[in-house]
Structures are given as C-alpha cells and as structure tokens.
C-alpha cells in the first residue's frame, strides 16, 4: 500500500496568512489550534491548491492573494505554498508559486502590471503544468485524493456519483450470474432476444396497460351492442307484402311503356330532320372557313423590314449606353490618378524642404572644443563627435533621397496609367459619336418605311362582305330553314300519377325490406357480443401472465439490489448504505443514502458524521491501496475517532489561540 504523509507545509501570502511554516509533522496525528478565521480551513485549501490548483469546493478561479483595506488583491506580492511529502518514507518536495508579471514600459523607467503566472516545482526542478499534473497523478489520482482526505467529501457527491464509487469498490453481480442462479430467471433470459431487461420491462408495462384498458372498455361495448338489437317481427308476413307490392309496380311499368310509344315516333322523325340540318351546317362551316382565310389574305400588310430596323436600333442603343458607362469609368480613373499625383507631389515638396533643412545642419565645433590654458588657442580635443554627426546626417539625407525616389517612381507610374486611360477616353468618345449617328439614321429609316405602308383593311368587314356575296351560302341557308320548319313539337304523355303510385309502392317495399333485414342485424350483434365476452376472458389470462413475468423481473432486480447492498455494507463498520428505494407499485429506484445507526448521514450529529466519513475513507483507502493525510475540520466536536491508518490533521477551534498553532 502507498502511504502518503505530510511532513512539512509552508504558506507565503496565501489568502489571510502572510507567512506560516510547520515542520516535522507527526506521521500519526497533528492538531492545529486557532480561533475562528485564524486560517485552519486555509491550510487544507492551500494543500489542495498546491497539488491540483483548486480549493475544497473544486474551484480553479478563486482569489488566493491577501486582500487590502479595499477588499482588493494586494499588489507586489507572490502567493506560495511549499510542502514536503513522505511517500513510502521517500521525500518528495512540491511547490506552487502564483507570481506577478511586470514589464518595463518602452521609453520609461516605470513597470506595468501584466497579470499573473504560475511556477511549478517538483523535487527542486521547475516543470510545466502538464508534466506536474502527470507526476501528481502518479502519486494519487485527484478524485481519489479528495475522497480520502476529507471525511465529508464522499457525502457531498451526487447520489449517482456515490453509487458509482461504491460499485467500483465491490463490483456488481452480473445479470448473467443471476440468470444462471434461478430457473425463472433463466426463462426470463430467453425472452430478452435483441432487447435489454429494462426495455423488456417497459414493454411488459405497456402491454399490461393496453390490455387492462381494453378489458375495462369491454363491458360498456357489450351493453351498447345489446341496446342496438332490433325488436323481432313476422318475417313471413313481410315477405308476402313485398311480393304483392312488386306485382303492382310491374303493372304500372307496363302502362307507362305503352303511353310512351306514340311519343317516340315523333322523336324519331325529328331526329332524322336534325341530322340533315347538321350535314348542311357542316358544308356551310367549310365555306365560311375558306372565306375567312381569303379575307385575312386581303388585309395582310408586310412590316418585316421595319422590325429588322427596330432590332438594329435596340442594339445600337445598348452599345451607346455601354460606351457612355465606359467613358464615365475612364473619367473617374483619371480623376483618381490626378488626385494621387497631387498628394504625392505635396509629399515630394515636404521631402525637399526636409532635405534642405537637414543638409543645412553643421557640426557645432564650439560644443566639443577647448582652450589651451597656456597659449589660449582653441582646438577640438576629439574628432569622434564630428564623425558621428556626419554619419548620422548622411544616413538621414540618404533616407530622404530614398523616400523621394520612391515617391517619384509612384508619380511616374500614375502619370503613365493616366496617359493610357486618356487614349482609351478618345476611343470611347469616337464610339459614342458613331453609335449616336447610327441611331439617328435608323430612326429616320423607320419613319420613312412606316410612311410608305398602306392603310390596312378591316378584316371583319371584308369577311362579312364575302359571306353576303356568296351564292352557295345563301342556298344552304334556304335549305336549312325549310328543314327546320318540318320539326314537330313533341308533347310527352302524362304519366306523373303512375310514377307517383310506383314511388309510393317502392317506398313501402324499402320499409318492409329494412324490417326483414333486422334478423341479420340481430344475428351479427349476437355474434359480436359472444366474441367480446370471449376476448374479456382472454385478456384476464393475458394480464395475469404478463404480471407474473413483471413480478419475476422485480424479484430479479430485488435480488440484485440486495446482493449489491450486502456486498457494500460488509466493507464498512459504522456506516451502512441504502442503495435502493421501494416504490408504491413494488418497483425499485436506485439511490445512495448513507445511514449511521439507521439515521441518514446529514441528520446525524457532527461527531457521528466525521467518524462515518473516516469509515468510508478507510474502505476507499483499502480499495485504492493508498493512504493520505485526512484533514478533520471542527475536530473539537469529536471526543474519539475510529482507528485509521492515515495521517490525521485536526483543525480545532480554540478562542485562546490568536495565531494558528500546531500541537503534535
């Protein structure tokens, strides 16, 4: 087993502690005494921050620096935590330093604050964050460390997380092991093809619900069918009445047929005349079609030459618009070039003035000369300043010349581009004049062609004139009129009374037929009632069978849950875990409730909670084969701790101790 012991801990400017160092800690038990806000909890936060960069609440981004009178982080300080650990009696030194970053402002002696950076040191060697985290994880995983160093850490987890930790420690009985342990469970397994136990359970619940709903609806449906049955009648009497009325209808149909035969002769004669009229109208229609074509030909005017000229006019107009747009674009480009040249010329003039000013500068001999005390003669005691002056002056002049040449080159380039655009400007102007002239010419031609066209005749007037003058159409009109005079008026026979009698008899037959059909309706209703009664019994059996399977599933879950609870609780001495809650319907809901002598963890007193937490830590240490220092806050509330192999760090509230004091 890996044993981790805190040998020494040093804090520098960490939260409310300016400096504190605790050496040679007892490998078994240590107690830190201090009044409230003396920094007891800060020790644990500092230890966690050293290893993982987080506090007790798993926060990364929180203020660790001391605060000034305005409750703001004090500047000019670095926050540091250093520790020496004994890992299986081998010393490991670890440091984390939260440093301020300052950089000198250009051209000034002052420095500006640029934020913070973290320096990590492992066994006296600075390391990067990734390497540091890897080395810490090799000692102990972060999630495990937090659970085995704080008695209340496990209970602060969500129930799903607590269950996962416990299951990882004891392992869980597999479904297959349970299937093999019981014949009913084995039968259940055979029904899980292509589905999980949870899915099959949901399927059963849905089937039971559907079957119960159908069974509950069945009695009402049977009552409704019984109420729908028709009263029994004398079917032989009805059959006799229907036969008599059908015979009467046959007699009426015969009378109607005889009265209509004389009318049919007139209708047939009229039909023959109408056929002759139709033939003559067809001949007349063919002649009119030919006359319509003749009238259209006489009124036709050829305008194809004008259409061709208008097409050319549209093309020329489009080209004129494009040429004008192109001309505007060229003018804009020339304006841009001229504007750029004007700006560059101004820059060039500024450079000439700058060059003349710089070139006029001379070395100040007086500044670097002295007088001989003996002969009063002036001389330059060192020629280096003049050399430096001339070098600097030549460099500045060369740079000005270089800038001037660059500007000159750009001016020439813009002028060259402007000249090219000017050539295009002249060509574009010629195109505009060309298309304008072409458009005027085409408009004149169109006008002349339009003036030469003859006034078109009215096609409808020409057509009507041709029709009126056609002798064949006049002859056909006379023949059609003669035939139409031969059509005789058809007066239908009055059989309305016979039809009314027939309709009344048919209505009586329909009523009798409906009464006759009631026997078939009642037979079908009786058959359906029998089917529903049979289905009701069948549904009772189906529901019973499905509920039996559901009961087996619930028993399966209960056996599995009891097995898991028993396995978990064997690992603990003072605390027991309730991993499942039974629902009203008998089902089980997964949970994770820690119980201390039957009392929920959070409802127990502080001493019971701490000892229960130590019990959990002992088990987790064995499962992970590691021990680490346990920080026990509010230690004064516990008179006696249960035994543990881990190092104990007691944090005790003591009003008598103004400053945090270690007692080994």
Looking at 421, 436, 451, the residue that finishes a domain is 436
Q: Which residue bears the tokens 């004090």?
A: 74
pLDDT at position 93 is 97
- Among 623, 613, 648, 660, smallest CA distance to 167 is for 623
Give the span between the Cα atoms of 458 and 465, in whole angstroms: 11
Residue 633 placed within a domain: yes
Choosing from 402, 436, 470, the residue where a domain stops is 436
How many Cα neighbours within 13 Å face the side chain of 342?
6
Residue 192 has pLDDT above 90, yes or no: no
Could you give the C-alpha distances from 497 to 251, 255, 500, 502, 503, in angstroms and in order? 14, 11, 5, 9, 10
- Using the 3D structure, point to which of 416, 436, 456 is the last residue of a domain: 436
Q: Is residue 32 part of a domain?
A: yes
Tell me whether residue 94 is in a domain. yes
Residue 88 clears pLDDT 60, i.e. is over it: yes
Residue 579 contacts residue 568 (beta carbons within 8 Å)? yes
Cβ–Cβ under 8 Å, residues 550 and 201: yes
The candidate with the shortest Cα–Cα distance to 262, out of 495, 564, 486, is 495
Q: Of 216-230, 490-504, 580-594, give the lowest mean pLDDT range.
A: 490-504
- Whether 267 shows a pLDDT value over 70: the answer reads no
Task: Categorize the per-residue pLDDT at 557 as very low, low, confident or very high, splitting at 50, 70 and 90.
Answer: confident
Which residues have a Cβ under 8 Å from the Cβ of 20 and sit 6 or more positions away? 10, 11, 39, 660
- Domain with residue 346: its CATH number is 1.10.287
492 in any annotated domain: no
The model's pTM: 0.51
In a domain, 657, yes or no: yes
DSSP 597-617: TTEEGGGS-HHHHHHHHHHHH
How far from chain centre, in Å, is Cα 512? 69
User: What local confidence, expressed as pLDDT, does residue 277 receive?
Assistant: 79
Domain count for the chain, please give it.
2
Helix axis angle, 159-170 relative to 606-624, nearest 10°?
A: 40
Lowest-confidence region among 113-117, 211-215, 579-583:
579-583
Dihedral, CA of residue 141, residue 147, residue 153 and residue 159, to nearest 10? 90
Which of 283, 211, 139, 253 lies closest to 503, judged by CA?
A: 253
CB 458 within 8 A of CB 299: yes
Residue 158 belongs to some domain of the structure: no
pLDDT of 488 reads: 64
- Residue range of the domain that includes 419: 329-436
Q: Which residue has the higher pLDDT, 317 or 375?
A: 317
How wide is the angle at C-alpha 330 spanned by C-alphas 325 and 336, nearest 5°? 125
Residue 318 lies inside a defined structural domain of this protein: no
Nearest to 156 by CA among 664, 626, 609: 609
Domain of residue 60, CATH code:
3.40.50.300
- Cα–Cα distance, 208 to 187 (Å, whole number): 19
Is 392 within a domain?
yes
- pLDDT category, 23, cuts 50, 70, 90? very high
Residue 300's pLDDT band, with cuts at 50, 70 and 90, is low
**Predicted local distance difference test score (pLDDT) of residue 455:** 55
């Amino acid at each position: 087993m890996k044993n981790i012991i805190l040998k020494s801990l040093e804090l520098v400017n960490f939260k409310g502690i300016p400096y504190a160092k605790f050496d040679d800690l007892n490998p078994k038990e240590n107690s830190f005494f201090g009044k409230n806000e003396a920094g007891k909890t800060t020790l644990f936060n500092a230890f966690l921050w050293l290893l993982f960069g987080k506090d007790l609440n798993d926060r990364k981004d929180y203020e660790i620096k001391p605060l000034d009178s305005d409750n703001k982080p004090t500047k000019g300080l670095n926050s540091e935590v250093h520790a020496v650990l004994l890992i299986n009696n081998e010393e490991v030194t670890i440091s984390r330093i939260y440093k301020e970053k300052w950089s000198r402002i250009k051209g000034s002696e002052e420095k500006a604050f640029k934020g913070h950076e973290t320096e990590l040191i492992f066994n006296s060697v600075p390391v990067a964050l990734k390497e540091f985290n890897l080395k810490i994880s090799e000692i102990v995983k972060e999630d495990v460390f937090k659970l085995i160093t704080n008695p209340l850490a496990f209970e602060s987890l969500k129930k799903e997380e607590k269950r996962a930790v416990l299951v990882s420690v004891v392992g869980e009985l597999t479904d297959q092991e349970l299937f093999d342990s019981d014949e009913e469970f084995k039968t259940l397994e055979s029904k899980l093809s292509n589905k999980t136990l949870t899915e099959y359970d949901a399927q059963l619940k849905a089937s039971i619900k559907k079957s119960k709903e159908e069974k509950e609806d069945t009695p009402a449906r049977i009552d409704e069918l019984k109420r729908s049955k028709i009263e029994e009648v004398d079917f032989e009497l009805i059959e006799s009445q229907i036969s008599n009325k059908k015979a009467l209808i046959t007699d009426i149909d015969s009378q109607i047929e005889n009265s209509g035969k004389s009318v049919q002769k007139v209708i047939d004669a009229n039909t023959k005349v109408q056929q002759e009229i139709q033939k003559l109208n067809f001949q007349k229609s063919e002649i009119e079609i030919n006359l319509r074509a003749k009238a259209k030909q006489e009124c036709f005017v050829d305008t194809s030459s004008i259409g061709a000229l208008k097409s050319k006019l549209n093309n020329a107009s489009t080209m004129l618009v494009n040429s004008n747009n192109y001309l505007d674009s060229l003018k804009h480009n020339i304006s841009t070039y001229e504007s750029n040249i004007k700006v560059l010329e101004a820059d060039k003039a500024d450079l000439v003035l700058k060059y003349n000013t710089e070139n006029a500068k001379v070395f100040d001999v007086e500044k670097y000369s002295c007088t001989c005390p003996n002969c009063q003669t002036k001389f330059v005691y060192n020629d280096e300043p003049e050399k430096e002056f001339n070098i600097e002056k030549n460099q500045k002049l060369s740079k000005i010349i270089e800038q001037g040449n660059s500007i000159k080159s750009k001016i020439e380039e813009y002028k060259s581009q402007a000249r090219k655009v000017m050539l295009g400007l002249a060509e574009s102007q010629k195109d505009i004049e060309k298309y304008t002239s072409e458009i005027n010419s085409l408009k004149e031609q169109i006008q002349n062609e339009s003036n030469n066209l003859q006034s078109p005749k009215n096609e409808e007037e020409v057509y009507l004139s041709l029709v009126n003058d056609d002798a064949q159409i006049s002859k056909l009109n006379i023949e059609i009129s003669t035939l139409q005079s031969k059509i005789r008026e058809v007066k239908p026979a009055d059989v309305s009374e016979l039809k009314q009698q027939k309709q009344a008899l048919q209505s009586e037959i329909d009523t009798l037929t409906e009464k006759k059909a009631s026997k078939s309706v009642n037979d079908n209703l009786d058959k359906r009632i029998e089917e529903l009664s049979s289905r009701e019994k069948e549904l009772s059996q189906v529901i019973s069978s499905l509920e039996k399977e559901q009961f087996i599933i619930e028993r399966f879950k209960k056996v599995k849950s009891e097995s898991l609870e028993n396995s978990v609780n064997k690992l603990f001495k003072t605390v027991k875990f309730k991993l499942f809650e039974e629902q009203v319907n008998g089902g089980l809901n997964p949970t994770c409730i820690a119980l201390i002598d039957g009392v929920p963890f959070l409802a127990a007193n502080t001493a019971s909670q701490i000892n229960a937490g130590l019990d959990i830590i002992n088990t987790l240490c064995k499962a992970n084969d590691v021990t680490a220092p346990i920080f026990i806050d509010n230690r004064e509330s516990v008179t006696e701790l249960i035994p543990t192999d881990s190092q104990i760090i007691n944090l005790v509230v003591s009003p008598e101790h103004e400053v945090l004091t270690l007692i080994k």
